[in-house]
Structure 1
Amino acid sequence: MGITIYDLAREAGVGIGTVSRCLNNHPSVSAKTREKVLAVAKRLSYQPHAHAQRLASKKSNTFSTIIPFFTNYFFIEVLQGVQDRASELGIDLILYGVNNTAQAEYYLRRSLHGGRVDGVMFFSMKFPESYVAKFEQMKLPLVIVDAYHEKFDSLLVKNLEGAKQATRHLISLGHRNIGMINASLETTPARERLEGYKLALAEAGIPFDMEKVVITSNGKQDGFNREAGYESMKEMLRRGFGRNRATAVFIASDVQAIGALEAAREFGVRVPEDIAVVGFDDIELAKHAQLTTVRQPMYEMGTLALQMLINRMKNPCAAPNHSTFLPELVIRKTCGAQPGVVSSSLHSGIELGEPSS
C-alpha cells in the first residue's frame, strides 16, 4: 500500500491539514514547516496521485459536494481544504450550492441516479430521512460534514463545547449579564451553540433569560451573515437599558460578530469597556478585528472530509465513522482579557477512528 497523507503527518509531527497546505504551497505555512514536510514526502517517496489512479480504474474519480452559502466565510475555508486535497489526488469535484432543503434533495437525486459521481459530501444541513434508504440501497459513499446522522460517516465540530467555553470565559472575567446573538434555530450549529451557552450559565448559577438572546430575523444564510449581526446587536442594545443590561455577548459566528461590532461603534458603545464580545469560527476577518472567538479548524475539516469519503469507498462495509474536532478559544482584544489560545476543556485536536488504509 502506498504512502498516505496520514503517514506524512505522523512522520513530520504535524496535522493532515498542515501537510495538505505544504503540498499545495499554501501561504499560511511557514517556510520551515513546508521544508520539513516536503523533505519527509521525498524521503518516503510519496506520490499524491497514485491513490487516485487506483480509484480511477473502476470509478469516475468525481465527487459531488452539496453545500449551502458559497459566500459564507466558513464554507469558503472548508471548501479550500476539500479542493486542495482533491487536487493532490487528481479527483474532480462537482460543487452544488443550495439555499433550501428542496434544492439539496434535487442534487442528492442527481448524485444518486446520474451515474457521474463516486461519492457525496453533504454539508451543514439535516440529511433528509427520505434519502437514507436510497443511499443505503445504492451503496453510494456519503460523508456528512458539520452535521450528524447515525447511519453515515460524519465530521463536525463540538459546537456545544465551543459555546460553553466561550460563555465560561466571559463568566471568568466577572460578567453575569451575558447575552447571545444567534442564527436560525433550524440549523444544527445554532441550536447546539445556544445549548452550550445555556449550560455554561447553569453551571455558574446564572439564570437563563430569553430576553438576553436575539435570534436573527434575517433569512439570508440562515442568519449567519454580517447584516444579521448588525441588526441583532442594535436590538440587544435597545433592550439593554437599565440595571440588567448585557455587559458581554456571545455571538454564534464571526461574520455576525463583525456586523455587531459595527453596530456597537454606531451606538457609541465601547468594546470591550462597555460590552465584551466573543464570536465563533476564527475566520480571517476575526484577526483583523481583534475578535476573541472560538476557533474551528475549517481547512482541516475539508481535507479530512474528502479523505473520509475515500476511506469509505475502500471499505464500504465498515461501521460509520463519526469524527469530531474539538474547538479552541482564541483570546484577542474584544473580551478585555490577555491574548492567547486556550484549548478545549476536554482536549484540542480531532477525535476519530484509525483511518482506513
Structure 2
Amino acid sequence: MAKINQQYIAKELQISRATVSRCFTNHPGINPKTRAKVFALASRMGYAHTEKRTPAVHQRTRRALAFGVLVCVDLPNFDRTGYGNPGQELLNGLSEVARVQGVRLDLHFVRPEDLHIDGPSYEEIVSDGRRLWDGVVLIYPFPQSVVDELKATFPVVSLVEQYGRTPLDCVDVDHHRGIERLVEHLHSQGHRRIGFFTWRYPVEATWALRRYGAFVEMMTARGLEIDPQDAINVSPRDSLALPDAHARVRERTAQGVTAWICAADHQAFDLMLDLKAAGLRVPTDVSIVGFDGLQPPQGADKLTTIEIPFHQIGVTGGKRLLDLINKRFDSEQHILLNCDLRDGDTVAAPAKA
C-alpha cells in the first residue's frame, strides 16, 4: 500500500499538496467543504497530522491588513455637502474600525459608467490592489458586472446597497422598518392618498426599489389604494428625467395626492424647491417626507425623514470585512441596522377638499 501522507491525500482528492497542508494548519483561506473532505479522508486512512514546532506563515506576525475602499460616484456628487454627505459618514465609521484594528485604507473613486474592472477608473488601482488589498469595501451602487468581478478576487462587503443577483455581504439599513414608520406617520395625520417619488440614476438604485416595495406592502396592509400613476420613476418603462418627474408630482398633487414619500432626502429637498417655485406650500398644500436623515440646506424647512445610522454602518461593515478575511468562505450575511423617524416641519394634516 502507498505511504499515507499529505501528497497521497492531495492526489486522492485531486487538490494541491499545499491545500492539504493548509487544511491541517487551519488556514483561513481554505473552503470549509474542502477542509472537511481532507479531514474525513485522513481519518479513514489513519493519517495523523503532527504539528510542526514552527508556526505556519499565516500564524506569524504579518504586515498590516489593507482594505480597498471603492466609492462609485462622480466626485462632484460625493462632495455635494449642502445637505450632508452620507458617503463621508460611512467612511468615518470605516476609518474608526481601521484605526483601532491597525488596518490601512486605500480609497479610490470610480465612475458609475465603467462596467468592468478593466475600465479606465479601475484599471490601475485594481491591478495594484490585487497585490496589496486583503478585502474590498463598496460604497454606493455599483454595476452588477463590477461586483461579480471584484468578488471573484477579494472578500467584499457592500455598504447600504444589496445585490440580489450576487451572494454578497452587505451592511444596510432596515428599509422596511423605515418606510413602515413613514406610512404610519402620514396615515396618523389623516393622509390616504400617498405617492412615492424617486429619481432616475446612472446605476440602478436597488435601494429605491426596495423602499418602494416596502411602500406597497405598508399601503396594502392599511387598506390604502395605490394608483400606479402616483408612483414616479419606479419602473424602467416609465422613467422620467428630473424636470419631467417634478412636473408629474405637481400634476398628481393637483389630482388629489396629499403626501409624497421621497426615496431619499436629497430628492425631497429638490422637490420642495420645485413645488415652492410653482406656488405650492409644504406642508399646507402637500406633505413631503424623505429617507436618510440629512441636515436640511440653509434656509430650508426641517424635513420629516428616517435617520440612517451611516457612521455605525461603516463601523459594522469594517468589522464584517475583518471577519471575512479571517474566514474567507463564511456564509454571506445581510446585516440590517434599525432606523428611526425624525419629525420635522414638512408634514401636516391634509387640507380640506
Task: Give the TM-score category using the shorter length.
Answer: 0.5 to 0.7
Name which of 136, 146, 153 aligns with 2:169: 153
Q: Distance in 2 between matches of 1:146 and 1:323?
A: 10
Provide, for residues 168-200 of structure 1, a one-character-per-residue CA deviation record: whole Å limited to 9, x for no partner.
221221111111211338221111111111112
AA of the residue aligned to 1:254: D
Provide, for residues 230-269 of structure 1, a one-character-per-residue CA deviation record: whole Å limited to 9, x for no partner.
763443113432xx42111100111111111111221221
Name the CA shift for 1:131/1:76 in 2 (closer, same or farther; >3 Å): closer
Name which of 218, 228, 231 aligns with 1:213: 231
Is 2:268 aligned against 1:257? Answer: yes
State the Cα distance separating 1:108 from its structure 2 match.
9.0
Q: Distance in 2 between matches of 1:211 and 1:232?
A: 11
Name the CA shift for 1:200/1:151 in 2 (closer, same or farther; >3 Å): closer
Please tell me whether the aligned partners of residues 116 and 149 of structure 2 are also in contact (alpha carbons under 8 angstroms). no
Please tell me whether the aligned partners of residues 60 and 117 of structure 1 are also in contact (alpha carbons under 8 angstroms). no
Please tell me whether the aligned partners of residues 288 and 347 of structure 2 are also in contact (alpha carbons under 8 angstroms). yes
Please tell me whether the aligned partners of residues 72 and 142 of structure 2 are also in contact (alpha carbons under 8 angstroms). no
Provide, for residues 84-109 of structure 1, a one-character-per-residue CA deviation record: whole Å limited to 9, x for no partner.
33234332222232332635634499
AA of the residue aligned to 2:301: A
Provide, for residues 287-308 of structure 1, a one-character-per-residue CA deviation record: whole Å limited to 9, x for no partner.
9631000111111111111111
- Greater shift, 168-177 or 92-101, is seen at 92-101
Equivalent residue runs for 1:163-174 within 5 Å: 163-174=179-190
Name the CA shift for 1:56/1:312 in 2 (closer, same or farther; >3 Å): farther
Name the CA shift for 1:334/1:62 in 2 (closer, same or farther; >3 Å): same
State the Cα distance separating 1:131 from its structure 2 match.
6.2
State the Cα distance separating 1:79 from its structure 2 match.
1.7
Please tell me whether the aligned partners of residues 117 and 149 of structure 2 are also in contact (alpha carbons under 8 angstroms). no
Equivalent residue runs for 1:1-20 within 5 Å: none
Residue in 2 that maps onto 1:79: 91
Residue in 2 that maps onto 1:200: 218
Equivalent residue runs for 1:1-357 within 5 Å: 57-59=61-63, 61-69=65-73, 70-71=78-79, 73-100=85-112, 102-103=114-115, 105-106=117-118, 107=122, 111=126, 114-125=130-141, 128=144, 132=148, 135=151, 138=153, 140-148=154-162, 151-184=167-200, 186-215=204-233, 228=242, 232-241=245-254, 244-285=255-296, 289-336=301-348
AA of the residue aligned to 2:184: R
Give 1 or 2: higher strand fraction.
1
AA of the residue aligned to 2:132: R
> Greater Rg, structure 1 or structure 2?
2
Q: Distance in 1 between matches of 2:187 and 2:344?
A: 16
How many residues are aligned here? 272
Q: Aligned-residue CA RMSD in angstroms?
A: 3.4
State the Cα distance separating 1:209 from its structure 2 match.
1.1
Q: Distance in 1 between matches of 2:132 and 2:277?
A: 51
Name the CA shift for 1:131/1:216 in 2 (closer, same or farther; >3 Å): closer
Name the CA shift for 1:63/1:284 in 2 (closer, same or farther; >3 Å): same
**Structure 1, unaligned stretches of length 5 or more?**
1-53, 338-357
Greater relative CO (CA pairs within 8 A, separation 6+):
2
Name the CA shift for 1:56/1:284 in 2 (closer, same or farther; >3 Å): farther
Q: Distance in 2 between matches of 1:329 and 1:181?
A: 18
Q: Distance in 2 between matches of 1:66 and 1:100?
A: 11
AA of the residue aligned to 2:334: H
**Structure 2, unaligned stretches of length 5 or more?**
1-57
Per the alignment, in what secondary structure is the counterpart of residue 263 of structure 1? helix
Name the CA shift for 1:195/1:55 in 2 (closer, same or farther; >3 Å): farther
Name the CA shift for 1:155/1:101 in 2 (closer, same or farther; >3 Å): farther
AA of the residue aligned to 2:271: A
Per the alignment, in what secondary structure is the counterpart of residue 168 of structure 1? helix
> What is the TM-score when the length of structure 2 is the normalising length?
0.67
